[in-house]
Structure 1
Amino acid sequence: MHYRKEVVRRFLADVERQTPTTIDVLQAMWMIAKAWNLVTEKTIANCFKKSGFKVTCEDEEDDLPVAELARTWQRVQEELHLQESDFEDFVTFDNDLAICGELTDADIVTSVLPVTDAEADEDEEEEGEIDEHNFTIKDAYNALNTIKSVFLKKGGLSDDVVKSITKLDCALDVITHTGGKQTTINDFFSNK
């Protein structure tokens, strides 16, 4: 459900930007990583409880992600003036989807080749000092995508790095959906 919520958020963001929605495999993988990191221990315990395993946990919470996704889907229908699409069809549209493919020998060789000096020099030329100006949330998302690309190209993409990146992504989502504005250091100390 968290993944589907990310897809709907992406779709709504593209509607607002008036751009077509395209999600490639890499973007889907990042969305899946983010969704998995949002799954709580309590959710997993409740899954075991519903399947008949004896689990000691507190009262079961409502399935908030499904309810929130349903509200978001309703908004999509209203915004795009869609016909009464069956929400269940949306939730299960990819149940029969093929989830793997075969790599060619060339693809495998390319993926393990080291980065050449020319490519490294080109990357260093792109790095420069950042001009200070009013950064937007769009700038933050672009920067996050750049960070993802660097870790993918240069290696070092450990579980901790993926979790950190998805936490940043979630924090940006909160700012985006709450209309957050930049605060001052005085605001920080006044809340304590």
Structure 2
Amino acid sequence: MPPNTTSLIQPLDQGIIRTAKAHYRTQVMRKMLQAINDGTSIINYAKSIDILKALYMLKRAWFLVSPATIENCFRKAGFPVIDKTSNVNEMQMVLDVSEFGEAIQEEDFEAFVDCDKEAECFGNLTDDEICDSVKLNRQGMADLEEEDEEEAGISYESIPGVSHKDALMHLSMVRKYLEENFTEYNSYYDIEEMIEKNALINRTQSKITDFFK
């Protein structure tokens, strides 16, 4: 919607975006505390979160936004809904930060979720400004990648992929951890089945000449 449209009629501004941010930043806080417990500094932890990791966490955060929360936000914005039995305040439940113990208070976590609330995320750019921005971003990303490769002494292309065998081997270690700490872990078997199916799909037919090499 246009930037001047009041947020009162935009369902995403009624709690959907904030709920996704709360789930996302819960993951950030959880991983940060784990990194600190493992002896990693906050600065090094922050550097370890690249765009790909952020997208993984964002995908998980969006998955955790319940249909009831989305429905409540649409109702709050004035859209008619069929089911009127759900709780309008359900989206506030994601701000339960008891899992962090004394590491952070709920007020501080709410401030963490809303840290970019006033940031402008819209604007009208001219065609020339858009072109200049794209060129600048491309050049900046190319420079950063070149610097990272020089510092690491390797290129991204030289990093080998993970074989099906290695994936299943490490997954068995995850299963052992789940067995020792949890009683239900049905999602583990979904991952195992997904890897096994992928291994069968990508399996190549052996030729008779392969046995004479």
| TM-score, normalization by structure 1 | 0.48
Higher relative contact order (CA 8 A, sep 6+): 1
Larger Rg: 2
| TM-score, normalization by structure 2 | 0.44
